Amino acid sequence: MSAAAKVLDPCSASRMMWFDKKDQRALFGDIRDEQHLLCDGRVLKVEPDVLMDFRQLPFDDGVFRMVVFDPPHLTRAGVDSWMRAKYGMLTSDWREDIRKGFNECFRVLEPEGILIFKWNETQVLVSELLALTDEKPLFGHKSGKREKTHWITFMKRR
């Protein structure tokens, strides 16, 4: 881990939300390392700095100031669909996966560290996700044409 990396993105995929996809303050992780040719001819690259599973992060406790947790949100998608390639898929045990993900993200945060949680509730409601952690969000915002994407901010308790 770079000494400059104070932010962890354990599900970075193609880093779509990042202004600087090579920001040295962040460590980009994902369980996938792959490329896909999209239907419009563009290449989608999932190239993490470190291969990692958000359910079992390879870091000591309390080492990041911020974690950006944007896990896969799809429970169903075609095997060769661009949505699956772009966002990844949840497993059939997605509730336990997300519960473990929240636990791991909070574990690696320093006391009073910030967790930004991003979720699209097209297939699974945000309320179902928030029930999977004992941490309470500070505030959030809905975005997108149909306001299905939620940005939720947490601050880790001491």
Q: Is 15 part of a structural domain of the chain?
A: yes
Q: What angle do CA 70, 76, 78 make, to 5 degrees?
A: 110
Average of per-residue pLDDT across 118-136: 94
As given in the structure block, the two tokens for residue 55 are 């359910």
CA distance 20 to 155: 24
**pLDDT digits 0-9 by tens, 3-51:** 678 999 999 988 989 999 999 999 999 998 988 887 788 888 889 999 9
Strands 34-37 and 50-51: unpaired
CA distance 66 to 153: 10
Q: Is 2 part of a structural domain of the chain?
A: no
Q: Is 127 part of a structural domain of the chain?
A: yes
Identify which of 68, 50, 145, 60 has the alpha carbon closest to the alpha carbon of residue 113.
68
**pLDDT digits 0-9 by tens, 81-115:** 767 877 778 889 999 999 999 999 999 999 999 99
In this model, does residue 2 exceed pLDDT 70? Answer: no
Inter-residue contact 70 to 29 (CB < 8 Å): no
Q: What angle do CA 34, 39, 44 make, to 5 degrees?
A: 25
pLDDT interval class at 80 (50, 70, 90): confident
Q: Is 18 part of a structural domain of the chain?
A: yes
Domain that holds residue 129: 7-155
Q: Is 53 part of a structural domain of the chain?
A: yes
Q: Is 44 part of a structural domain of the chain?
A: yes
pLDDT interval class at 146 (50, 70, 90): confident
Inter-residue contact 11 to 71 (CB < 8 Å): yes
| Domains held by the chain: number | 1
How many CB atoms within 10 Å of residue 108? 20
Phi, psi (degrees; rounded to nearest 5) at 100? -65, -40
pLDDT of residue 21: 93
CATH number at residue 75: 3.40.50.150
In this model, does residue 1 exceed pLDDT 60? Answer: no
Q: Is 1 part of a structural domain of the chain?
A: no
